[in-house]
Amino acid sequence: MIDFMNTGGEPARTAVEQDASLAKARQSNRRVLAVISVLVVGAVAAAVWWWAPWVDRSPFTAYDVSVAPGKYTDPGSAADSCIRTASSEEETVIYDEDGHKLAAGRDPREGQRLGPEFGDFAGDCMFITRIDGVPGGEGTYVRQWGGGTKTELGEDELRMSVEEQRERFKTMKKTD
């Protein structure tokens, strides 16, 4: 059999060999494109996860509803109002997890005397503290009242309406 030479001095390739070579090149290109596609999708997914556009980051007004025992209050200016005798008008501060102050609000001077529908808290004095400008999207917040103990709470608790928080005191039990 006679071997034909191409102009490059190599033996001529058959059509089958050329097709196999092209198929390998195409397969290699597909693998490279697949890897690049996976990396791009992964990068986009990571960017979206970090950015988290579904998280509401807008500032909101939080309400902190607290109760002072009746024995530490005096009658207020109206029949159903009351005034704390100790630690009146203290500041409630909201921090992020790292301890940076985010927002604060002052307790009102007068609160509301709770009726019998509040069970264990009947006769106690409820105070509603308004805290403006709490940045959203932090997830976990830390609340501190009057420079005392810090307590962790979630954003859903801070966004709870005054009515929802008041209702919780109707079914809560005092822990002594």
Of residues 117 and 20, more confidence is placed in: 117
**pLDDT(58) > 50:** yes
Q: What is the pLDDT of residue 145?
A: 85
- How far, in whole angstroms, is CA 61 from its chain's centroid? 15
* Average pLDDT across the chain, whole number: 84
- Cα 55 to its chain centre, rounded Å, is 7
Residue 28: both structure tokens together: 């290699």
Cα–Cα distance, 26 to 34 (Å, whole number): 12
pLDDT tens readout for residues 21-41: 777 778 888 888 889 999 999
Q: Residue 105: in which H helix or E strand, if any?
A: strand 101-106
Q: Is the pLDDT of residue 2 over 60?
A: no
Q: Exposed (0-12), middle (13-18) or buried (19+): which is 113, by Cβ within 10 Å?
A: buried
Q: What pLDDT is stored for residue 8 in this prediction?
A: 56
pLDDT at residue 25, as a whole number: 76
Which neighbouring-strand residues pair with 81? 112
How far apart CA 124 and CA 41 sit, in angstroms, is 57
Taking a C-beta distance cutoff of 8 angstroms, is the pair 100, 67 a contact? no
Nearest to 139 by CA among 156, 123, 125: 156
- Whole-angstrom Cα distance, residue 71 to residue 99? 34
Note if the pTM is more than 0.75: no
